[in-house]
Chain A
Amino acid sequence: DSGVTQTPKHLITATGQRVTLRCSPRSGDLSVYWYQQSLDQGLQFLIQYYNGEERAKGNILERFSAQQFPDLHSELNLSSLELGDSALYFCASSDPSLAGGTGELFFGEGSRLTVL
Chain B
Amino acid sequence: LAKTTQPISMDSYEGQEVNITCSHNNIATNDYITWYQQFPSQGPRFIIQGYKTKVTNEVASLFIPADRKSSTLSLPRVSLSDTAVYYCLVDPYSSASKIIFGSGTRLSIRP
Tell me the A residues contacting B by CB distance below 8 Å: 2, 4, 31, 33, 35, 42-45, 48, 55-58, 88, 90, 92, 94, 96, 100-102, 104-110, 112
Q: Do residues A102 and B95 form an inter-chain contact, with CB atoms below 8 A?
A: yes
Per-position 1/0 for B18-39, Cβ under 8 A of A: 0000000000000110101000
CB distance from A38 to the nearest CB of B (A): 12
Of the stretches B9-17, B44-52, B66-74, the one at the interface is B44-52
Tell me the B residues contacting A by CB distance below 8 Å: 31-32, 34, 36, 41-46, 49, 51, 87, 91-104
Q: Do residues B91 and A92 form an inter-chain contact, with CB atoms below 8 A?
A: no
- Distance of A35 Cα from B94 Cα, bound (Å): 18
Residues in chain A near residue B34, CB distance under 8 A: 101
Q: Do residues A42 and B97 form an inter-chain contact, with CB atoms below 8 A?
A: no
Cβ-defined partner of B97 (8 Å) among A48, A107, A112: A48
CB distance from B101 to the nearest CB of A (A): 4
Q: Do residues A45 and B97 form an inter-chain contact, with CB atoms below 8 A?
A: yes
- Distance of A42 Cα from B36 Cα, bound (Å): 13
Residue of A whose beta carbon sits closest to that of B33? A101
Q: Do residues B103 and A42 form an inter-chain contact, with CB atoms below 8 A?
A: yes
Residues in chain A near residue B100, CB distance under 8 A: 45
Q: Do residues B43 and A109 form an inter-chain contact, with CB atoms below 8 A?
A: yes
Residues in chain A near residue B49, CB distance under 8 A: 100-101, 104
* A55/B97 contact (C-beta < 8 A), A101-B32, A101-B34 known: yes
From A58, A100, A109, residue with most partner B Cβ within 10 Å: A100
